[in-house]
Amino acid sequence: MTLTVARTDDFDTCLALRWTVFVEEQSVPEELERDEHDATALHLLATLDGRPVGTARLLLKGDTGKIGRVCVLRESRGQGIGAALIRAAVEEIKVLGLRRAKLGSQVHAIPFYEKLGFAAEGPVYDDAGIPHRDMILAL
């Protein structure tokens, strides 16, 4: 098993992964899944033995890199792919010289991000009908 996570210009593949996880599996309305930030985001693609299995995007604002649209195909979960995506995103943020990483975690996933060093901050809020909470990692 060879897992690779890298920057990509293959936005169509990232969108296909996001569609499968967010729209089909989690019932996020399709008009909320894509937004104006996709055009300027840095996109990461995770491949397992050459097959696309996960993605994430990075938005840069001030001294913060915001990690978002993190997803892994259902059949590929539990193999460390999500953690590898987050670690790769954090490394990209460090390379860019930013001071912190931020993300909006689905509430059920907070323990996953805490294991990667993130701390929950602020109240729970609704994002596309799913409870979320912001999480921060100082770099």
In a domain, 126, yes or no: no
Number of domains in the chain: 1
In a domain, 8, yes or no: yes
Contacts with 38 (C-beta within 8 Å, 6 or more apart), sequence order: 11, 15, 57
In a domain, 24, yes or no: yes
In a domain, 75, yes or no: yes
Q: Which structural domain, as residue segments, surrounds residue 57?
A: 3-99
pLDDT tens for 11-26 read: 999 999 999 999 999 9
Environment class of residue 79 by beta-carbon count within 10 Å: exposed (0-12), middle (13-18) or buried (19+)?
Answer: middle
pLDDT higher than threshold 90 for residue 1: no
In a domain, 129, yes or no: no
pTM of the predicted structure, to 2 decimals = 0.94
pLDDT tens for 23-40 read: 999 999 989 999 999 999
